[in-house]
Chain A
Amino acid sequence: MQAIVIHRILQIIPVLIGISIITFLLVSLAPGDPAEISLRAILDTDSPSPESISLMRAEMGLDQPLHIRYFIWLSRVVQGDLGYSYLTHKSTVYEILYALPTTFILAVSAMAISIIIGIPLGIAAAIKQNGILDHFCRFFSIIGNSTPEFFMAIVLLLIFSIELKILPVAGSGGFQYFILPSVVLAIGLIAITSRIMRTSMLDVLEENYILTARSKGLDRKTIISKHAIKNAMLPVLTYMGTQFGWLFGGAVIVESIFALPGLGRLTVDAVNTRDIMILQGCMITFAIIFVVINLLVDLSYIYLNPAIKYEEV
């Protein structure tokens, strides 16, 4: 068990190195001279003078060859120095830590809502295949999955904030401000989660060990709760793991509509203003979140299905 955990953790290292190179290259090779773009924002002019551009290039270290720039950059990153935003003059780490809790709350609540609703819905749909609930579930999934977040947000805002006036439109003053955004994010997740759960459940219910259990005389309730659900959870867990990562970056639209100062908005703002240090920081943060979540998903497999342990070693 321990060996697997260590093995998994070691696997992360090359992934992180790869990420660091890609992050560095993406931003370095993006079109446009970052020095000129920064100066345009700073000086509020369309055409900064060539002298100021060359000064800025030197200040930003852009006159060094690419590989040297990478190592200078990497050594700083490893020490936790991700540079400063040229707009706010605050450190990238500060900006990211400021934005992270909002997105974290949003992602966790969206995930929680989708688990609470999506998984039982999927199980119920599978148990009563082609029943009323199953049809409802299918209908809901199609609607939920094909409605863009933007539209869903507006519909919910019109209902709950404009007509019923029970929820605020936007902002981040407290718990009630997170309800609509997390529901909007959760709806798409519920749609897929419940479908995957249903399919997976139907597969599992046809497995030999379920037949064995049934022939052994176990009642249906025990079979489903003790044997089927746990095994059927694996693909759902994989899906939710990756989705959780996506929620951090994919919350961009929702964060903009509901004016939440999260990581998604920070990233988009950084792209729009070419705030390169912030952009790099965000990309690295996303990458780390993805890697960590994948690790957790992998480790949870071991808990859910101990058989995996023997296959791996």
Chain B
Amino acid sequence: MIKLKNYILLLLLIVTAFSLGCTGTQSGTQSGMQMATQQVAEPTTLTLAAQWEPKTIDPHEYGYTGHRIGYTESLTGVDYEGKVIPSLATDWSVSPDGKTWTFNLRKGVVFHDGTPFTAEAMKKSLERSLIKSKSFAAVPIVGIDAADSQTLVVRMNNSFLLLPAYFSKGEAAALSSSSWNANGTIIKPVGTGPFIFDSWKPKEVVVAVKNTKYWGTAAHVDKVVYRILPEAMTRSMLLKSGEAQLSVILPPEIATGYMNQPGFTVHQQSIPRVRMITFNNIKAPFNDVRVRQAVNYAIDRNAIITSVLEGIGSTGTGLFPPDTYWANKSITTWPYNPEKARQLLEEAGWKDTNGDGIVEKDGKPFKVKLLTYSERAELPPIAEVMQQQLKNAGMDIEITVGTSSATEGIFKTGEYDMYLVGRGLLFTPDPDEIMMTDYHSSGTSKNVYGAFRWNNSRVDSLIEQARTTQDLSARKAMYDEVQAIVVEEAPVAYLNYYVNLDVSTDKIEGYRSHTNEYSYHLENVKFV
């Protein structure tokens, strides 16, 4: 038995040594942490936790990280409302035929390696980007010329008004040619942003330091540590332990826990992604506009938000969330009115004749199939809530949940009545793409998530007209009208918008969530 006692003793020793070891090594990191938070005069390090992981550090292949952290910039930028704004180009214009774009570049900008940012450098960078990036496959660029040191001319095959929007992308970042080696392989991104790229450890961390020679307002913090943490719970723990001052994109169930907690701020921002139902517009019963409107009246959108989405989100109005530039702000949410829904159904010939609560037409009960997929976890519960709501208005829906590839297979055959989807809207910060694919008849005749097999000549002509209109507010007016028609004709029903929830600690101020996570604008963030 002596041996056992010895063993336990040994075990205790190991455990003690182990814990001593931890505290010993830990004190180093902790003092580093305190340094970051307490002594403001000393170098300050901002740590943020995010789930997004760059698969490559080459901004021309994967541009999001550089723009978000702020070590790269493009000719154009995107403001908090999702509108294209000047960045490295101060202004731009297009020839009347829409084929030649001229960008006037910002003066006095230098790359992080000290070389000047000129039209010639931008030309080199963009030419590499066109080869490396898959984002510009749809852009009909013929050639890029440096007219003089501050003027860049881009020639197109045909009229293409989306060029400034495309040029805002991370993949169009301005990189100094010292960023890549003779083979064109990235060494490290050398950009123009308020931060200078420092290092990258795949799946773990990207580090950037302050650019003291930034053309705009210089950053407050000296260093940014972007930590990659796939698990939301871990991102939350990092806030609590004080290791991070900002955690981006936390799920509602975690973020709501911070809402009334002192020491933390929850940043709520709707993003251009809408949860919506797309109706099968060529098949009964949804080939009748009155039935589609009835569904809109029968859905209690507020109840969906409170019961499924933890109260986070705003009810659907038009295609774009109301706090973004492209939204038609005069559209209001369809009111919840089951009486009105029944009335519209009756007008369309659907009436409950046998008293079972479900309406019938020509002796057949109203029974439709709703498809949705499980990858977006909130969609199936939303479908269930709607099932109950529609039943109250006399409509019986049968829910089919599958994987997105399985439901898409069914969707393509047209063997469905309603398809509940989450639809991303502004991959390129301009409405043209989504309008063309989802609402213009050339797009809706194909199998896309928009207004399935629906067409409206007024909508078609407005979208086409917007393609050739250069004036921003005139274009917006056209898209506003399109959105209003779509809501009224209801080939789709908008339920609500996705919301990003970011949480920051009181140690910092100046952070604001960006609607499409274009940039975290960390140069505005400072320690208090």
Contact = CB atoms under 8 A, between A and B. Distances in A.
A258 B4 contact: no
Interface stretch (B95-103, B174-182, B234-242, B260-268): B234-242
Contacts of A67: none
Contacts of A43: 134-135, 137
A271 interface: no
Contact of A171 (B25, B134, B227): B227
A159 to B, nearest CB: 12
Contacts of A171: 204-205, 227
Interface stretch (B14-22, B475-483, B506-514): B14-22
Interface string B12-41: 001000110111011001100000000000
A258 B241 contact: no
Contact of B231 (A173, A221, A256): A256
B3 A221 contact: yes
Contacts of B458: none
Contacts of A85: 55
A259 B25 contact: no
A311 interface: no
Contacts of A256: 230-231, 234
Interface stretch (A57-65, A174-182, A196-204): A174-182
A167 interface: yes
B203 A265 contact: yes
B449 interface: yes
A154 interface: yes
A117 B11 contact: yes
Contacts of A47: 437, 446-448
- Among B18, B134, B205, which residue has the most Cβ atoms of chain A within 10 A? B134
Contacts of A150: 233
A255 to B, nearest CB: 9
A170 interface: yes
A157 to B, nearest CB: 5
A307 to B, nearest CB: 27
B25 A124 contact: no
Contacts of A166: 19, 22-23, 26
A162 interface: yes
Nearest to B61: A89
Contacts of B437: 47
A161 B241 contact: yes
How many chain B residues sit at the interface, stated as a range, is 35 or more
B228 interface: yes
Contacts of B26: 166-168, 176
A254 B67 CA distance: 30
Contacts of B447: 47
A30 B279 CA distance: 29
Contacts of B405: 31-32
B482 to A, nearest CB: 20
A46 B448 contact: yes
B229 interface: yes
B377 interface: no
Contact of A170 (B29, B55, B234, B446): B234
Interface in B192-245: 201-205, 227-231, 233-234, 237-238, 240-241, 243
A1 interface: no
Interface string A29-47: 0011000000000111111
Contacts of B403: 31
B18 A259 contact: no
A170 B448 contact: no
Nearest to A257: B231
B21 to A, nearest CB: 7
A88 B135 CA distance: 16
Interface string B395-413: 0000000010110000000
A172 interface: yes
Contacts of A250: none
A309 interface: no
Contacts of B258: none
A200 to B, nearest CB: 18
B56 interface: yes
Interface residues of A, number: 45
Contacts of A265: 203, 230
A52 B238 CA distance: 43
A165 B19 contact: no
A288 to B, nearest CB: 23
B238 A154 contact: no
A176 B27 CA distance: 11
B183 to A, nearest CB: 13
Given A171-B227, A172-B204, A257 B448 contact: no
B234 A175 contact: no
Nearest to A275: B55
A291 B11 CA distance: 33
A120 interface: yes
A44 B135 contact: yes
A43 B136 CA distance: 9
Contacts of B23: 166
Nearest to B438: A46
A42 B134 contact: yes
Residue from A31, A47, A169, A173 with most neighbouring chain B CB atoms (10 Å): A169
A165 B22 contact: no
Residue from the set B1, B19, B241 with the largest chain A CB neighbour count within 10 Å:
B241
A176 B229 CA distance: 18
A176 B25 contact: yes
Interface in A7-62: 31-32, 42-47, 52
B427 interface: yes
A179 B11 CA distance: 16
A225 B3 contact: yes
Given A259-B227, A259-B229, A89 B22 contact: no
A166 B25 CA distance: 9
A139 interface: no
A179 B230 contact: no
A261 interface: yes
A40 to B, nearest CB: 11
A5 interface: no
B4 A124 contact: yes
A259 B247 CA distance: 14
A209 interface: no
A170 B232 CA distance: 12
A136 interface: no
Contact of A89 (B56, B227, B228, B229): B56
A88 to B, nearest CB: 5
A98 interface: yes
A89 B202 CA distance: 13
Contacts of A120: 4, 7, 11
B21 A31 contact: no
A220 B123 CA distance: 85
Interface of B: 1, 3-4, 7, 11, 14, 18-19, 21-23, 25-26, 29-30, 55-56, 61, 134-135, 137, 201-205, 227-231, 233-234, 237-238, 240-241, 243, 403, 405-406, 424, 427, 437, 446-449
Given A47-B446, A169-B234, 4 more contacts: A116-B14, A172-B204, A256-B230, A259-B203
14 contacts: A42-B134, A87-B56, A89-B56, A116-B11, A116-B14, A154-B237, A157-B234, A169-B234, A169-B238, A173-B29, A175-B21, A221-B3, A256-B231, A261-B202
Interface of A: 31-32, 42-47, 52, 85, 87-89, 98, 116-117, 120, 124, 150, 154, 157-158, 161-162, 165-176, 179, 221, 225, 256-259, 261, 265
Nearest 3 pairs between A and B by C-beta?
A: A261-B203, A87-B55, A32-B405
